[in-house]
Structure 1
């Protein structure tokens, strides 16, 4: 059936075909190359111009480039892509001159590599690029040889060999400058912007495995250069702007990142670029999550969920599920948190398996070439990762179960703390004595065994009476209220004082001191609205603690909540 269709096509082609001059062919070829990663409609237009030719060489290029254009469409048209590529092979067979055939085949193989790369068949892509480069060198097509080198470098970076990828692209950039005379002005600018875009992305990806700040600086520099050289390439300019925003995120400059993403969103919407819009919604969600603006982050992540229905959005969709789970956890919406966490786990596994499979295939091919030593290291790393795969699966399940347990435990703890706080408030309102919680003793003081010391009851009562007088005078609010100073104050020794506190109050002196300070703070919070406006540090200093951290720790131990939470509870009850 296909042969009949091709026969009909050739008959039609013979009728409408016309002679296309070499100058026109080169002009249209440059136009296709210029628009191929930007305006696909324009690229198809110039391909159709070339398809009117009678020359087999020109038609081989036309149908090979058309096959790649079909693959680049937002929803890849694989069927038409395959048909166009098969037609290209038929025209290649019609070329008789060996040199011309070799030149046409090198271009066809480069497109074959690009098509396989878009289909994520990285091993097939790199084989095609290598053969295309070999033929390009044989026919002295320096421009195509540079393109093939850059395309192979892209795959090297994709599988983690960043140093070799960067070195390869920089060498290509140097050659491009030397052969500038071979390019039309627009084609040269596009070639330079392509090189800078690759270098920016390689340095950015390299930073993910080697956390050197200089790598981010280099990435930022090359993305800015890409933007300069991409004034007429809106698609590439947009990608460079988005990636520049990503660099600001990694530098923790979230304000600059958000501005960059919002500006890029306007450009994407004006240009009707659907996929970047989804990516930008994810990035804006991530930035606002980092700024703790959870309401805005939730809006953006939900937009990603509603728009992500294409292969290129898998990563954004997967990560959005993770942050949606975290946000709902912050809102105590445990049902939705659990739901999104389960979705994240499933989608993460899907992406992980795909990436690992392709990486192994590409590494095996390259390892047989000139860079065997470099990729042996990478292969060993992959083996180690494979050996940890089972452990990772168990770990994912454990984390999931642990999160569910944590959510439940957190709910129970909040409920218990709520009951405890209400009880404390009621006790103080009714002027009852505070009940001391029998927590584990962690004081550095040694509790004296009652059997090791004995003083008469009159002396004990005298010490207790003096302590009560100090309590009434709020002497315990002093920062230097300790065993030594208090013993001196009531004219006894530290041994006797420690003994009496242990015996009468069943606690060490430091626990006795902290209890008085915390009880005073609780009473003031309940009865004094002005006191509630103080910062935690100010309250801590007021009741004699040296810093807010130790105060908050003691307060939490006494009440089960932080000082801020306790104050919010009181103010909420007053409003009711």
Structure 2
């Protein structure tokens, strides 16, 4: 309703004489007029041109132009209105064979959700974009999709993988002379090298980015490279250089209200001053990081260590109230990061992992409440419970290992000879041979990975009927059609888990979707029935086996 009212109001702004003058304009002329008004920051006029563009396309039933019209409107709107326009593109074009759509809409939705730090939705849309990108001959769209995949993987900590992705993207943008996107890729490369602790390489790309940004007139990019090099100089233990770089970057980032990167600058200043033994300034900057987090509810995993520093400062100062306050905050952050960054959980708890924080918090509370008498008892109970858990986990691991080894040695699918003839089916031998040949091709092409495959759809593919196909599967495979499909999917999954290290890192939900199951629950249930192990346990055992 909001979008509809906006369109009506903007059309009413244009006089009938102005609308009449648009009737003879081509789509290119209307688009040029739109971007001219957009450059001039005249949103009302730009919306009117985009609305007329879309209306003209709908009247002419010109699908590609309809998609372009929605894309123009999405370009100048924000929030839910923007998403509505992008969803309209997808709805109109999802079954069409267009070059740019709906891929363009999925790329924009990925960027939208990534900026909101809703990584789950960003990844969902990025996966859809990647599916369409594989079929597209538009190199720019392919690069942009690949870059967004790299961003998400970086957020999850896969720096080795993303380095090559970003380098490929930089090469692609350079060939296209897309300066702004090229600079974005250089920044991503420099930041990835920094996380990999290849600090000289990070400095090389930061300096390259600084020079390119200045020569091409991209002021914003220039300041981001300054910030990144400031962080890099901290890692090199060049603390004064780190301060100089960051102090030059922060005023501009504050000017454009980029709070996440302002927080990143404060974080490294806090760490620098901690190394310089200036706890007062360290505390000041790290508390500014927390203030921004409270405002935005967004925190990068890298900023977690700042809370550890604050806790350490308050512990040494004997300020138990502040120590407890920041322990509580860190516990909440860990909980948030665990839910949003499942793959990063193991990397987030170094000096103050969650169990240690909980224990430390309980100790402080008991001290504050003068309940020291219970401390030793609680500690003994905790240690005893911990010992029980250790024994239980050890026995469970041994059982899982035995199940895993038994499965690998004995659970192998035995294909019945496709040449076997049977008169029991009451199906002519020619038809049997035809269906068997089709099933061989179906298995070879991995058609079972399609989550929409059914007895009916496969019968149509094989040019037979469901009765014949069902009988053939029941007779030769000795199982129902559904069990046959699931068996193929599970065998494919297990073989891929054995050989594909990247596939092992997928979530159970992602694996289940990749191999055609409707839900993670149905996948896990079928996997356990086949192997007597949960998928996550099976993957852990594979990792232990090397």
TM-score normalised according to structure 1 size: 0.51
Once the two structures are TM-superposed, the CA of residue 288 in structure 1 deviates from its matched residue by 1.4
Equivalences for 1:409-424 in 2 at 5 Å?
none
Instruction: Pick from 139, 145, 148 the counterpart of residue 151 of structure 1.
Output: 148
Distance 1:248 1:91, change over 3 A: closer
Which residue in 1 is equivalent to 2:274? 289
Which residue in 2 is equivalent to 1:267? 252
- d(CA) in 2 for partners of 1:283 and 1:257? 8
Distance 1:147 1:254, change over 3 A: same
Which residue in 2 is equivalent to 1:126? 123
Aligned length: 344
Which residue in 2 is equivalent to 1:57? 67
Equivalences for 1:204-243 in 2 at 5 Å?
204-207=194-197, 215-231=198-214, 232-243=217-228
Distance 1:145 1:29, change over 3 A: farther
Instruction: Pick from 290, 294, 313 the counterpart of residue 327 of structure 1.
Output: 313
Is the Cα contact below 8 Å between 1:162 and 1:206 reproduced in 2?
A: yes
Which residue in 2 is equivalent to 1:372? none
Which residue in 2 is equivalent to 1:25? 31
Once the two structures are TM-superposed, the CA of residue 318 in structure 1 deviates from its matched residue by 5.9
- d(CA) in 1 for partners of 2:243 and 2:356? 34
Equivalences for 1:468-483 in 2 at 5 Å?
none
Which consecutive residues of structure 2, in runs of 5 or more, have no partner in the other structure? Answer: 55-65, 369-546
Which residue in 1 is equivalent to 2:184? 194
Structure 2 SS opposite 1:281: helix
Once the two structures are TM-superposed, the CA of residue 166 in structure 1 deviates from its matched residue by 1.3
Equivalences for 1:417-496 in 2 at 5 Å?
none
TM-score normalised according to structure 2 size: 0.53
Distance 1:403 1:246, change over 3 A: farther
Which residue in 1 is equivalent to 2:325? 343
Is the Cα contact below 8 Å between 2:30 and 2:53 reproduced in 1?
A: no
Structure 1 SS opposite 2:137: coil
Distance 1:317 1:307, change over 3 A: same
- d(CA) in 1 for partners of 2:95 and 2:83? 21
Are residues 1:140 and 2:150 paired?
A: no
Once the two structures are TM-superposed, the CA of residue 233 in structure 1 deviates from its matched residue by 3.7
Once the two structures are TM-superposed, the CA of residue 190 in structure 1 deviates from its matched residue by 0.4
- d(CA) in 2 for partners of 1:145 and 1:29? 24
Are residues 1:397 and 2:358 paired?
A: yes
Instruction: Between 299-308 and 119-128, report the one with greater CA deviation.
Output: 299-308
Which residue in 1 is equivalent to 2:111? 114
- d(CA) in 2 for partners of 1:59 and 1:151? 24
- d(CA) in 2 for partners of 1:50 and 1:163? 46
Once the two structures are TM-superposed, the CA of residue 350 in structure 1 deviates from its matched residue by 2.3
Q: Which has the higher contact order (CA 8 A, sep 6+)?
A: 1
Instruction: Pick from 273, 289, 310 the counterpart of residue 296 of structure 2.
Output: 310
Once the two structures are TM-superposed, the CA of residue 168 in structure 1 deviates from its matched residue by 1.8
Is the Cα contact below 8 Å between 2:33 and 2:49 reproduced in 1?
A: no
Distance 1:340 1:235, change over 3 A: farther
Is the Cα contact below 8 Å between 1:20 and 1:50 reproduced in 2?
A: no
Is the Cα contact below 8 Å between 1:325 and 1:339 reproduced in 2?
A: no
Structure 1 SS opposite 2:53: coil
Is the Cα contact below 8 Å between 1:190 and 1:229 reproduced in 2?
A: no
Distance 1:394 1:134, change over 3 A: closer
Per-residue CA shift, 1:284-333, capped at 9, x if unaligned?
23211210123333443444455552223576986555434433455x4x
Is the Cα contact below 8 Å between 1:109 and 1:131 reproduced in 2?
A: yes
Distance 1:313 1:97, change over 3 A: closer
Which residue in 2 is equivalent to 1:562? none
Equivalences for 1:520-539 in 2 at 5 Å?
none
Once the two structures are TM-superposed, the CA of residue 31 in structure 1 deviates from its matched residue by 11
What is the Cα-based RMSD across aligned positions, in Å?
4.2
Per-residue CA shift, 1:171-212, capped at 9, x if unaligned?
22223333x2xx5xxxx11011011111112222233xxxxx
- d(CA) in 2 for partners of 1:322 and 1:311? 19
Once the two structures are TM-superposed, the CA of residue 109 in structure 1 deviates from its matched residue by 0.8
Once the two structures are TM-superposed, the CA of residue 158 in structure 1 deviates from its matched residue by 1.9
